[in-house]
């Protein structure tokens, strides 16, 4: 009898062990491919990047010749040519963001408000405004270059201008901004459209009963309701344009003052395209500097978002409750 | 009161219609100008730069396309004007389509594991993955290039494809969708003795295919349009390994003169056609997909 019980126990134990083994096998086979690729193409480069930024390279090998030096950072924070160029480019990128990000938020928001009134053909308009952004930047950029060509361009000839749009720094930035609005607002626009669609209609009816004006309705009903979308767009657009490269690469590479046009990523890309391993250490260090800057600004945005979430009245109410 | 409200609505609709029409026209005009321009003779650009369409019927020509496709053979005397566009098209399709399909398989398998195989720390691991999404990509650009060198795929198409396999966003999106599938369905299938692979193929994939399709569309468009990474990986490679989006930049640099304007516009249009077809077929899905990123998060 006792033996039988033992046998049962044994069978159960074996069954259990078998099932945990099976489970492990299952999880392994489903998660395995992704784990490997995540480690290989995400974690490893990240770690390698940090190591590289603390390494010295010789021009003959892609492997670091000396690890554990802060020379790269020292050069970047010293008064050297590389440092001057890099930080100037970071500042340029930042200024560019300050100009383009508000446009990339306000223009799509305005257009989404118009679409939200549901005029005839609004679905067509939505599709048309989203359209330019889906194409390769090189295609749309090439068309733009030809359109604004100084001699044979359509724009110059119908407005009777002789402006060399791509030869001058200021006008080149203007065209790049135009490019970013033309091909870059699609996503934000669609997200705003969806956000506006999801605003609770009864809120508008209630504000109608209260006799709210259009502007107050927008300020007190619409804006709070689409705040998540507003912050999402602000966040992603800002990060996106801190990394701006393609637009400048496409439109400004013939500019005589290319140095004034280079964004931070453009500098890094320059070092890498030359494929002289000597500069890889600087490139890695620059990447980390720019990345940390982006994270820093994102954190500020997140904190602002959190603070806004708790409204003034709620805070007052909390304070009042505390005092009781 | 009610009537004036209604009329006000009508007026605002008309105003919205007019402004939107104007904006849409402005947004579409450059594309249309490029399209018509690719069928114009370059003399027509010279003589009538102010004309939007080919200025007369004789200015309408296929020369740009013909010239572009005549430069697909390597001629050593004109090594700079060698545009193997068939190779570029083929490469772009391989990178955009092949890379996306493989990533979707990997990502949906992982998403299945996170949702339906409740293993230890599943949620914590997933939370960790989401946190890694906030790390700016520029940090790993340089080391990724070395990584590709170490793996021996520098200057090859594989070097364009495989870095995307480590992406988190696709797993995140597909997992979001899988979470919406009723757990009872999976439990029932399990009680019937179906293996996980069978459940994945027969139950979860058919239900989740729209989400996977949308994710695939974005992956395809992203890979097709990529220039930055392509410049690093294949920029120094022979021209036959370039992709279309990168090749266009070189065409645009080398075709500065007005004689080459038709050719360069033709190449731009060719690179846009596949994406445009995708957009025509799946326009509502793409727009819905973008909209969802704003609502669900």
Q: In the structure, what pLDDT confidence band is assigned to residue A44 with cuts at 50, 70 and 90?
A: very high
Asked if residue B169 lies in contact with residue B210, where contact means CB atoms within 8 angstroms, the answer is no
For residues B94-122, average pLDDT: 89
- pLDDT > 70: what percent of chain A? 94
C-alpha torsion B151→B156→B157→B158, nearest 10? -10
A49, A193, A290 member nearest B291 (Cβ): A193
Bridge partner list, B40 = B60
> Which pLDDT score, from 0 to 100, does residue A178 have?
93
| Span of A3-7, A255-259, B150-154, B182-186 with lowest mean pLDDT | A3-7
> Which pLDDT score, from 0 to 100, does residue B297 have?
45
Question: In the structure encoding, which two tokens stand for residue B166, read together?
Answer: 């480590």
- CATH code assigned to B85-234: 1.10.3720.10
Q: Which helix (H) or strand (E) element contains residue A104?
A: helix A81-116
Q: In the structure, what pLDDT confidence band is assigned to residue B117 with cuts at 50, 70 and 90?
A: confident
Instruction: Bin A192: left if φ > 0, else alpha if -120 < ψ < 50, else beta.
Output: alpha
B292 CB neighbours in chain A (<8 A) are 194
- Kindly write down the DSSP assignment for every residue of A176-222, as one continuous string: HHHHHHHHHSHHHHHHHHHHHHTS-HHHHHHHHHTT--HHHHIIIII
> Is B193 part of the contact surface with chain A (CB cutoff 8 Å)?
no
B24, B200, B279 member nearest A129 (Cβ): B24
- Asked if B141's CB is within 8 angstroms of A268's CB, the reply is yes
The angle at the Cα of A310, spanning A304 to A313, to the nearest 5 degrees, equals 130
> Which pLDDT score, from 0 to 100, does residue A97 have?
92
> Is B33 part of the contact surface with chain A (CB cutoff 8 Å)?
yes
Residue A308 has pLDDT above 70, yes or no: no
Q: In the structure, what pLDDT confidence band is assigned to residue A176 with cuts at 50, 70 and 90?
A: very high
Residue B255 has pLDDT above 80, yes or no: no
ipTM higher than 0.90? no
CATH 1.10.3720.10 maps onto chain B at 85-234
> Which pLDDT score, from 0 to 100, does residue A317 have?
65
> Which pLDDT score, from 0 to 100, does residue A112 have?
92
Neighbouring residues of B198: CB distance < 8 A, sequence distance ≥ 6:
B189
Q: Which helix (H) or strand (E) element contains residue A22?
A: helix A2-38
Please tell me the distance in Å from A279's CA to the nearest CA on chain B.
Answer: 10
Q: Using DSSP, state whether A57 is helix, strand or coil.
A: strand
pTM: 0.86
Size of interface A-B (CB pairs under 8 A): 301
Closest CA to B264 of A202, A159, A142, A237: A142
- Note every long-range contact of B6-15, with CB atoms under 8 Å and residues 24 or more positions apart, other chains counting: B9/A117, B12/A117, B13/A117, B13/A118, B13/A119, B13/A120, B14/A119
Q: From the candidates A54, A57, A138, which should be mutated to test the interface with B, based on the most B CB atoms within 10 A?
A: A138
Which residues numbered 145-184 in B keep a CB inside 8 Å of some CB on A? 145-147, 149-150, 162-168, 171
> Is B273 part of the contact surface with chain A (CB cutoff 8 Å)?
no
Neighbouring residues of B44: CB distance < 8 A, sequence distance ≥ 6:
B51, B54, B55, B59
Q: In the structure, what pLDDT confidence band is assigned to residue B130 with cuts at 50, 70 and 90?
A: confident
Neighbouring residues of B296: CB distance < 8 A, sequence distance ≥ 6:
B176
A41 CB neighbours in chain B (<8 A) are 144, 147, 162-166
Dist CA B25 CA B29 (whole Å):
6
Dist CA B296 CA A291 (whole Å):
27
What structural domains and CATH numbers belong to chain A? 73-323 (1.10.3720.10)
Please tell me the distance in Å from A79's CA to the nearest CA on chain B.
Answer: 23
- Beta-strand ranges (E) seen in chain A are 55-57, 64-67
């Amino acid at each position: 009898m006792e033996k039988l019980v033992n046998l049962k126990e044994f069978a159960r134990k074996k069954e259990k062990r078998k099932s945990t083994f099976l489970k492990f096998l299952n999880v392994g086979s489903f998660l395995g491919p992704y784990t490997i690729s995540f480690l290989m193409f995400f974690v490893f480069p990240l770690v390698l990047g940090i190591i590289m930024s603390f390494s010295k390279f010789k021009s003959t090998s892609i492997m670091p010749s000396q690890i554990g030096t802060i020379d790269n950072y020292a050069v970047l924070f010293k008064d050297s040519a590389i440092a001057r160029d890099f930080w100037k480019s970071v500042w340029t990128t930042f200024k560019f963001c300050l100009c383009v990000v508000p446009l990339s938020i306000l223009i799509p928001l305005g257009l989404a408000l118009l679409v939200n009134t549901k005029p005839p053909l609004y679905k067509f308009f939505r599709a048309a405004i989203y359209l330019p952004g889906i194409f390769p930047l090189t295609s749309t950029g090439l068309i733009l270059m030809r359109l604004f060509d100084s001699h044979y361009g359509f724009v110059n000839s119908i407005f009777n201008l002789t402006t060399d749009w791509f030869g001058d720094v200021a006008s080149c930035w203007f065209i790049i901004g135009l490019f970013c609005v033309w091909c870059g607002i699609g996503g934000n626009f669609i997200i705003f459209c969806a956000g506006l669609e999801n605003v609770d209609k009864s809120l508008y009816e209630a504000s109608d009963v209260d006799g709210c004006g259009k502007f107050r309705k927008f300020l007190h009903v619409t804006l709070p309701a689409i705040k998540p979308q507003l912050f999402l767009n602000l966040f992603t657009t800002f990060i996106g344009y801190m990394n701006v490269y393609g637009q400048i690469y496409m439109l400004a590479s013939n500019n005589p003052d290319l140095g004034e046009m280079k964004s931070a990523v453009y500098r890094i890309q320059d070092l890498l395209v030359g494929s002289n391993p000597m500069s890889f250490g600087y490139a890695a260090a620059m990447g980390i500097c720019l990345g940390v800057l982006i994270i820093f600004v994102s954190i500020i945005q997140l904190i602002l978002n959190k603070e806004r979430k708790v409204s003034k009245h709620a805070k007052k109410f909390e304070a009042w409750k505390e005092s009781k | 009161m009610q009537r004036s409200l209604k009329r006000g609505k009508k007026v605002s609709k008309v105003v919205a219609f007019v402004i939107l029409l104007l904006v849409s026209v402005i947004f579409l005009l450059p594309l249309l100008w490029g399209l018509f321009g690719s069928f114009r003779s370059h003399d027509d650009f010279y003589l009538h730069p102010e004309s939007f369409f080919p200025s007369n019927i004789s200015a309408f020509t296929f020369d740009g396309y013909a010239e572009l496709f005549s430069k697909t053979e390597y001629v050593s005397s004109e090594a700079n004007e060698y545009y193997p566009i068939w190779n570029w098209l083929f490469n772009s399709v391989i990178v955009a389509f092949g890379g996306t399909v493989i990533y979707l398989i990997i990502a949906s398998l992982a998403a299945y594991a996170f949702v339906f195989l409740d293993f230890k720390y599943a949620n914590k691991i997933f939370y960790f993955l989401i946190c890694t999404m906030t790390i700016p990509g520029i940090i790993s650009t340089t080391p990724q290039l070395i990584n590709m060198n170490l793996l021996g795929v520098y200057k090859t198409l594989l070097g364009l494809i495989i870095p995307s396999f480590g992406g988190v966003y696709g797993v995140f999106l597909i997992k979001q969708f899988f979470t919406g599938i009723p757990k009872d369905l999976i439990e029932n299938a399990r009680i019937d003795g179906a293996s996980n692979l069978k459940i994945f193929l027969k139950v979860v994939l058919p239900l989740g295919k729209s989400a996977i399709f949308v994710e695939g569309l974005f992956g395809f468009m992203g890979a097709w349009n990529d220039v930055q990474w392509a410049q690093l990986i294949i920029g120094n490679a022979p021209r036959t390994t370039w992709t279309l989006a990168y090749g266009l930049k070189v065409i645009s640099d080398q075709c500065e003169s007005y004689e080459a304007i038709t050719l360069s516009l033709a190449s731009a249009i060719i690179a846009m056609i596949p994406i445009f077809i995708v957009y025509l077929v799946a326009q509502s899905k793409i727009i819905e997909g973008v909209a969802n990123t704003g609502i669900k998060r």
